[in-house]
Amino acid sequence: MRHSARIQVGPVRFRIGSDWRAPIAAIEALYVDYPRDDARPADATVHLFAARPWRRWLRPSVHIGGDFVVPDALPLPLAMGLLAAEMGMNLQVALGWRRHLLLHASAVARDGRAVILSGESGSGKSTLAALLGEGDWRLMGDEFTLIDPASGDALAFPRAVSLKNEAIAEMTARVDAARLGPLLAGTPKGDIRHLVPRADAIAAMHVPARPALILFPRFGGEAAIEPMGEGEAFVRLTEASTNYTALGEAGFAALARLVRGTPAFGISYPDSATGMALVERLWGETAR
């Protein structure tokens, strides 16, 4: 392909190829401070391409391809090329990664121990993790948390945080503008702006953390904490995992060990400050 970039996020090394320069330039700008190991081949490949040659210039639209593809995925306008790259990277990890049990969850860590936040989009798990990551927590990731079947540890996947809609204003007020990507307005997922995690979180991206707390946040409603049994946490996390079935017995063993060794709670919160306070409270009371 005409343009390409290689980046590494946590244990995954990506090769991203594009028919246009712009998405590659945007990715390189966002990931410029991530550790590089150019002697290492890529684990996953993403293609950003024009379906017809003239569509490179004429109403350019970016199709997302790669090792793994979703049939009939809609293309994005070139101005959203960065989002296309992000979606392509997520897709390769979600469908192709087999080394670890993959949880669709955000995570933060302190003193080598991790809080895993699992929830559907709109639950606020990304925003909560991003906000905690600006305090005295290390952001491990806003999208995927990887569980090592051998050790039971959580591994970080600290890609650039994908801030959406209201979360954009909430975060831009707090962080250095140099850590923000361009505003992508009116995408199929609403407004999006990327936030580069703090330098210490990126530097520690290969450092595992022991799971200490599993939370299922729900944005909206009164502040509430609901203890959750191992069985329910297990079932919810199978639904939050894209490779649980593919890993077979190893996936079952890793997940069973995770829910048996880690207290789990559902939390509801009306605003971010309350959500953060609930996390701190549960951390102080129950994390082990």
Partner 1 sequence: MSAVRTLVDLLAGRADAATLAPRDWDGVISVARAEAMLATLAHHLRDTGLPPAVAALFADQRAAARVAQAQALWEVEMARRALAPQGIEFVLLKGAAYAAAGLSCSEGRQIGDLDILVQALDVRRAENALLNAGWEWVKSDPYDDFYYREHMHELPPLIHSVRDRMIDVHHTILPLTHRKTPDALALVGDAVATVDGYAVLCPEDMAVHCAAHMIADGDLQGGLRNLWDFHCLTRDFASADPGYWGKLDGRAAMHGLRGAAHRSARLARDIYGAVLPPGWDRHDPADLWFRRRLLARDDWGRQTDFLLQQAFYIRSHWMRMPPLMLAKHLWTKWRKGHNPASRGTSSS
First to last CA, the chain: 49
Please state the closest distance from residue 11 (CB atom) to partner 1, in A: 9
Pairing of strands 190-195, 61-66: unpaired
Concatenating the DSSP letter of every residue in 80-120 gives GHHHHHHHHHHHHHHHH--SSEEEEEEEEEETTEEEEEE--
Closer by beta carbon to partner 1, 68 or else 234 = 68
Closer by beta carbon to partner 1, 43 or else 153 = 43
Please state the closest distance from residue 7 (CB atom) to partner 1, in A: 13
Considering the rule CB under 8 A, would residue 150 count as an interface residue with partner 1?
A: no
Distance (Å, rounded) from C-alpha 131 to C-alpha 149? 29
Please state the closest distance from residue 230 (CB atom) to partner 1, in A: 24
* Of 41, 40, 2, 4, the residue nearest 19 (C-alpha): 2
Of 79, 94, 250, 287, the one binding partner 1 (CB under 8 A) is 250
Closer by beta carbon to partner 1, 13 or else 210 = 13
Considering the rule CB under 8 A, would residue 63 count as an interface residue with partner 1?
A: no
Q: Cα–Cα distances in Å, from 211 out to 167, 204, 227, 267?
A: 26, 16, 17, 18
Closer by beta carbon to partner 1, 17 or else 266 = 17
Please state the closest distance from residue 268 (CB atom) to partner 1, in A: 33
Closer by beta carbon to partner 1, 45 or else 61 = 45
Closer by beta carbon to partner 1, 13 or else 257 = 13
Considering the rule CB under 8 A, would residue 17 count as an interface residue with partner 1?
A: yes
Please state the closest distance from residue 47 (CB atom) to partner 1, in A: 6
Of 94, 203, 223, 246, the one binding partner 1 (CB under 8 A) is 246
* Of 38, 35, 34, the residue nearest 15 (C-alpha): 38
CA 170 to chain CA centroid, nearest Å: 19
Distance (Å, rounded) from C-alpha 84 to C-alpha 91? 10
The burial class, CB within 10 Å (0-12 / 13-18 / 19+), for 68 is middle
* 77-116 binders of partner 1 (CB under 8 A): 98-99
Of 43, 134, 148, 153, the one binding partner 1 (CB under 8 A) is 43
Closer by beta carbon to partner 1, 133 or else 251 = 251
- Say how many residues touch partner 1, by CB under 8 A: 21
Distance (Å, rounded) from C-alpha 139 to C-alpha 262? 19
Which residues on neighbouring strands pair with residue 47, listed in sequence order? 17, 65
Of 42, 94, 175, 253, the one binding partner 1 (CB under 8 A) is 42
Which residues on neighbouring strands pair with residue 194, listed in sequence order? 162
Which chain residues interact with partner 1 by CB under 8 A? 1, 13, 15, 17, 38-43, 45, 47, 65, 67, 98-99, 246-250
